[in-house]
Structure 1
Amino acid sequence: MALHRPQLDLREPRHLVPGTSSELLGEAEGLSFEGQELVGEDISGGSFVECSLQNLYVMDSDLSAVTIAETWIRGLNAPHLSAPRSSWRDVLLTGSRIGAADLYDGVLDSVHIQGSKLDLVNLRGAKLSDVVFENCTIGELDLAGCSAKRVQFIGCQVETFAATQASFAHVDLTGAELSRIIGIDSLRGAVISPMQLSELAPSLAEHLGLTVLEDI
């Protein structure tokens, strides 16, 4: 089977106008925001289209069902990013630090997450297509029940990779160091390296109920 890699064509938004704090709370389009804060705000159902968000601090804010499209996000600092059922399309997220990212039941389409540290990424039930994680450190990536196609990891470290009841197609894990996998029986459709296969051998043996004896 030929591996189909993510197809990304992310273009940096141009000719932006500086946005105000009030515009950050509504439907923003063609705006740039730098060094602003979202603390205790409700912008559920809002949108950011063709925007630039730089050095944004987010805490205790509701971003449920928010739409982020054709937008570059740099230096996001979010101890808790609460954005379930959100939609991300043609987005670059780079140089960011996120504690818990609740993105369950969301849609990520043509998204590049680069050079970031994420403690917990909750993508349960989400739909991912054409997504790249590059040079990221991830504590736990929870993909339980999600649908993922054309997803690639490059130079990433993932402590816990949860895939229970996930559906994978062309998911390239060869560029990820996986310390622990939950739901190993749901990895069908993923691609791993020979070294990863040898590292997974104990988990595969346990899953299949095999007893491995030393040579006698």
Structure 2
Amino acid sequence: MEKNKTKIAKPKINDDLDSIYISRENVIDEVMFSSGIISECSLENLQGNRVEFKQVIFKNVIFNNITFRNIDLTDVKFQNCDLSNVDFIEASVYRVEFINCKIIGINLSEATLRDVIFDNCNGEYAFFSHSNCKQVAFLQCQLRSADFQNSMFSKVEFKESNLLMAQMNFTKLKGIDFTSCEIEGIGVNIADVNGVIVTPMQAISISSILGLIIK
């Protein structure tokens, strides 16, 4: 049985990868790193615009004070990485996996996400506002107080995830199944929840947020 219902394309990464070394000297605007592995290190105080990573594996990497706006991630895996508070605003993210990662406060606002899996990640206070998400799965993730406002969802899945106090105002949730998730305090508008799939108890919780009185 598949862990997630949504059919998501896996990253296409070659088996034979060279090690990639990243420093302030080789991170410049529009630089590309490809076909390699970055592991067991800390990346600190780096800035760049339109940096590209293609067919790259990040393993046990700590990102500290990283600003890669308009980053292009294609066929990339993040395994056991700490990407807390990184600035990836307006990112292009295609066939990417985040596995067992810490992404607290990550900024993926205005990003385009296609075929992306977040599996067992801590994404509390993460920013996905104004993002465009298609074929994206959040599996067993902590997303408390995450911001998904004004986003576009198509074939997006949340499974066994904590969405307490998450903000999804002005994001159409039709067809989204929240029945395995915690959604108390979720921020939504009446128009947002048309066609959403919830349990009876979750429906009562949402109704109270919207100011409805059930007798």
TM-score grouping bracket, smaller chain normalisation: 0.7 to 0.9
The two structures, once aligned, show a CA RMSD in angstroms of 2.3
Change (3 A) 1:68 1:200: farther
Q: 5 Å matches for 1:1-216?
A: 4-14=6-16, 16=17, 31-33=18-20, 38=23, 42-189=27-174, 191-196=176-181, 197=198, 198-199=201-202, 201-207=204-210, 209-212=211-214
SS of 1:205's partner is helix
Give 4+ residue runs of structure 1 displaced > 6 Å after superposition.
none
Q: Is the 8 A contact 2:50 2:70 kept in 1?
A: yes
For 2:22 and 2:6, locate their aligned partners in 1 and report how far apart those are by CA, in whole Å: 39
For structure 2, the 5+ residue unaligned runs are 182-197
Q: 1:43 to 1:183 in 2, by over 3 A?
A: same
Distance 1:178 1:59, change over 3 A: same
Quote the Cα distance in structure 2 between the aligned partners of 1:139 and 1:41. 31
Q: Which amino acid aligns with 2:150?
A: Q
Bigger radius of gyration: 1
TM superposition shift of 1:190: 5.6
**TM-fit CA distance, 1:136:** 1.0
Q: How much identity, in percent, do the aligned residues show?
A: 15
Deviation at 1:43, TM superposition (A): 2.4
Q: Report the alpha carbon displacement of residue 83 of structure 1 after superposing the two structures with TM.
A: 1.1
**Residues 127, 37 of structure 1: alpha-carbon distance in 2 compared, 3 angstrom cutoff:** closer
Structure 1 or 2: larger strand share? 1
1:130-154: CA deviation from partner (whole Å, max 9, x where unpaired): 0000111112221111100000112
Structure 1 length-normalised TM? 0.79
CA-CA distance at 1:7 after TM superposition: 1.4
Deviations 1:87-145 (A, max 9, x none): 00000001111221211111000000001112211111110000000111112221111
Q: TM-score, normalised by structure 2?
A: 0.79
Q: Which runs of 5+ in 1 are unaligned?
A: 17-30
